[in-house]
Chain A
Amino acid sequence: MKKKYFYLILGLIIIVALGLFLATYIILQRDSTTGEEGGGQTNPFANFFPFGKPSEPTTGTTPGQGVGTTGGTGNTPLFGQEITNPLRQISQTPVAGSYTVLRGGKTYALHVERNTGNVFETKLEDMTQNRLSNALIPRIQEAFFGNNGKSVVLRYLEEPLDTIKSFVLDVTNPLKPKIGSVVVSATGTPDTIPNGIFLPKDIMNVFPTRDGSNMFYSTRSSDFATRKFTGTAYNSIKGTSADVFQSPFSDWLPVFWDGTTVFLQTKASQLVPGYLYSFNTKTGGTQKILSEKNGLTTLPSPDQQKILYSVSTRGGIALYLNDRKGVYGADMEIQTLPEKCVWTNDSIYLYCAVPNFIPSAIYPDDWYQGSVSLNDNIMKIDIKSGDTTSVLIPDNRANQQMDIINMSLSPDEKYLTFTNKKDETLWMYDLTGAE
């Protein structure tokens, strides 16, 4: 009897062990299959497929086409980069916008490929990349992620009238069956189209909250004499919009938005004195923060109490720090534009891309117009002590010069992500692995 039980238990153990072995084999096989879908990201034309057409698996060592995992699995990161190098390239093609998000203790960088509108997700710990959307919307000029990365506002020009279109793509479900004519682009005649909604046409600027849950966007009426600037709050989670601000002056540029308070800066030129105001959209309270500063461009801190700003000097730029009341102005003793900086969440530190040389030009006008390009190094500044430390010299790490824009910190502040304006490629810098 005892022997019978013994054989029964032994048989069960063998069956369970076989089952576990089989399940492990299937999972590993599936992972290796999706990983092999890579190829062709380096060739922008390779992505030029009609909406929703699944891409053919291709061979190659570079990351892939299809929706799914691409790149390596830990040991073989994107583009064969050394994971030990804290400076790593996330995209080899131009990028229209990016965003970092934490999921399950891991940090993911999302980005929109400029040439295709495709959305990619890169796990920054091991540089594995996944295409989240292959909905094709080419010629993207700007992209802003919202709703924790689940949606993205894609902005592009409809020619020849140069109408600015802003399409909110559902990243979690990027395609839907086509009914009627193609909505987003005239390219291809597929049976699916991008899934999303259009915001009003000719939105001049979009500025998201730090977490992307809400976006402030601005429009203006067409007749010059009577035109009005309207600021609208777009809730990217609910998908609802509400007008929250109006002004007879329309050369405003939003530089901060937390869902209630918007900081509006007058559009900058070296030849014109600039202003910065804050407007509480709930109470109507207005505060003038900075005034009468030529070439003024600004970066308010997350706690809204400090303002990093630059002014034009003869042929160059000077960077200052003020508190919100404008009581003191500290010369930062570095020359850069606030657009090249990012605040830490505690509003105590700044990471700034600082040009190693400022060519003589009209700032910020010439830089905005693409007539002058800068070569930056990244520095960290403690605004309490004034200490400045060098963080990254791109030339040393990547053997190339970078004109850094759109710098942002991951939510856990372990990674810096930024775009090189020279070729619009996206990069990350691992602050935990930095020497």
Chain B
Amino acid sequence: MKQKCFLLVIFIFLATACLFFLQKTSAFAQTYNESLLGSDSGTKFKTFTIKINPEVPDAGEEVTASLVSVQLNLDASNINWTLNGKTIESGLGKKSVAFTMGGNGEQMTIRADIETIEYGTVSEEKTITPASLDILWEADTYTPPFYKGKALPASQSTIKAIAFPSFSEKNGPISESQIVYRWSRGIDIDEKNSGTGKNIYLFTGGYTYNRDSIELTATSLDKSISAVKRRDVVISTPKILLYQNHPLGGILYEKSIGNSFQLKGGEFTLRTEPYFFSFITRNNNDAAFRWNINGESLEINPDNKSEFTLRSPETGSGSVKLGIEINNIDLFRLQRASKTINLTYSN
């Protein structure tokens, strides 16, 4: 009797263990199978993912979607790509596809269906919202009127960086004022000048040949869109260029005067243009002009210190060295430039 009872207990124990084992192995199989079905199956684990490059594309930008998997033999699988429900590419081993993003606010859904021998058809899709972020900047430095080129920053000049985000959602573009801007200079986050709608960042640039690194993170208020941009601003040196101020033609900006100049009779007005100094105008009060001939200082008109009129002597000829030196009287800025030209004269 005892033996029968013992055998019964053993049987019940084994039966329970078998049932438990079967239950567990069944759950494992279910999880394993679900993991192969991608996001559509609603499980955490995926056998493959779609990688988008660039991660946050701009409107109208060309985008590449590619498949990444360590479990599937993608080269031996039939892959079908659909963009917003329309097939754009299909075939054996088609692991990547390129397409162009639509306009601002146009979301795009890219989907990959993979036919595998082992697991049947597995799928994955991704919705992409175009967004871009640029940093444009400008310096407080001088360039002549009508100049088409960029005003470059000089030592210690004030630089203004401006964020140009292009974020969109289903309802349309997100206003610049509805974006949170986080500005960093170097490795320091500037909390004071960061915040919602703070799309302009003013700072004093470094010294000549320094490189100021600005980083900006822009995030929509609901944090659904975010982009990061970094911009290096290289500090240049100011320079002096000379032009003729012609009595009838005005300033002849088309042709600057080089290192030598010939004055043949009459008079000639030289105009100095102090490129890339932190001056509002060329005759700015912060500008100290020093003119010299063969090292001897010349007296200049304080109201128009950037111009000098040369007159040929009535008789004789010769040559001199004409020098111009410009300093920003704000010494902390360390903005200085000089130029010397060989002036040959004859009547």
Contact = CB atoms under 8 A, between A and B. Distances in A.
A157 B249 contact: no
Interface residues of B, number: 52
Contacts of A327: 62, 100
A217 B147 CA distance: 15
B150 A251 contact: yes
A336 B336 CA distance: 33
B256 A288 contact: no
B212 interface: no
B60 A268 contact: no
Contact of B241 (A222, A291, A369): A369
Contact of B60 (A114, A325, A421): A325
A173 interface: no
A203 B147 CA distance: 12
A45 interface: yes
Nearest to A292: B134
A118 B315 CA distance: 37
Contacts of A248: 162, 199-200
A157 B152 contact: no
Contact of B59 (A159, A250, A271, A287): A287
The A interface, classified by DSSP as helix, strand, loop or mixed, is loop
The B interface, classified by DSSP as helix, strand, loop or mixed, is loop
Interface stretch (B120-128, B138-146, B321-329): B138-146
A435 interface: no
B248 interface: yes
A189 B279 CA distance: 36
Nearest to A285: B104
B248 A139 contact: yes
B312 interface: no
Given A248-B199, A288-B134, A369-B241, A271 B236 contact: yes
A115 B162 CA distance: 41
B46 to A, nearest CB: 31
A324 B275 CA distance: 34
Interface stretch (A21-29, A160-168, A176-184): A160-168
A324 B60 CA distance: 9
A324 B147 CA distance: 27
A146 interface: no
A266 to B, nearest CB: 6
A365 B239 CA distance: 12
Nearest to B158: A224
Contact of B248 (A48, A141, A365): A48
B263 interface: no
B256 A251 contact: no
A268 B250 contact: no
A119 interface: no
B60 A251 contact: no
Interface string A353-377: 0000000000011001111010000
B282 interface: yes
Given A160-B303, A325-B60, A369-B256, A269 B158 contact: no
Nearest to B253: A370
Contacts of A249: 136, 138, 162, 164
A94 interface: yes
A267 B61 contact: no
A252 to B, nearest CB: 9
Interface in A395-435: 421-422, 424
Given A327-B62, A365-B149, A139 B136 contact: no
Interface in B38-65: 58-62
B222 interface: no
Interface in A228-258: 248-251, 253
B134 A291 contact: yes
A287 B150 contact: no
B60 A326 contact: yes
Interface in B101-126: 103-104
Contacts, number: 136
A368 B147 contact: yes
Contacts of B147: 368-369
A365 B241 CA distance: 12
A254 to B, nearest CB: 11
Contact of A371 (B59, B151, B160, B256): B256
B251 interface: yes
B251 A368 contact: no
Nearest to B146: A141
A48 B246 CA distance: 14
A118 to B, nearest CB: 12
Contacts of B249: 44, 94, 114-115, 138-139, 424
Contacts of A225: 158, 160, 202
Nearest to A222: B280
B304 interface: yes
A271 B304 contact: no
A373 B255 contact: yes
B243 to A, nearest CB: 7
Nearest to A339: B148
Interface in A138-167: 138-142, 155-157, 159-162, 164
Contacts of B241: 369-371
B282 A271 contact: no
Contact of A160 (B248, B253, B304): B304
Contacts of A138: 248-250
B96 interface: no
A249 B159 CA distance: 11
A201 to B, nearest CB: 11
A37 B150 CA distance: 47
Nearest to B59: A287
Contact of B136 (A48, A155, A251, A369): A251
Contact of B275 (A164, A266, A271, A369): A369
A275 interface: yes
A116 interface: yes
B265 to A, nearest CB: 15
B183 to A, nearest CB: 15
Given A275-B134, A371-B256, A268 B149 contact: yes
Interface of A: 44-45, 48, 94, 114-116, 138-142, 155-157, 159-162, 164, 222, 224-225, 248-251, 253, 266-269, 271-272, 275, 285-288, 291, 324-327, 364-365, 368-371, 373, 421-422, 424
Given A269-B149, A286-B166, 15 more contacts: A44-B248, A94-B249, A138-B250, A141-B251, A155-B146, A162-B282, A249-B162, A250-B138, A267-B149, A267-B150, A288-B60, A325-B61, A368-B148, A369-B149, A369-B241
29 contacts: A114-B250, A157-B145, A157-B250, A160-B283, A161-B281, A162-B281, A164-B146, A251-B138, A251-B150, A253-B148, A266-B150, A267-B151, A269-B150, A269-B152, A285-B104, A286-B104, A286-B166, A288-B58, A288-B59, A288-B134, A326-B62, A327-B100, A364-B149, A369-B149, A369-B275, A370-B253, A371-B256, A373-B255, A424-B249
A-B CB proximity, top 6 nearest: A139-B250, A269-B150, A115-B248, A370-B256, A267-B150, A368-B149
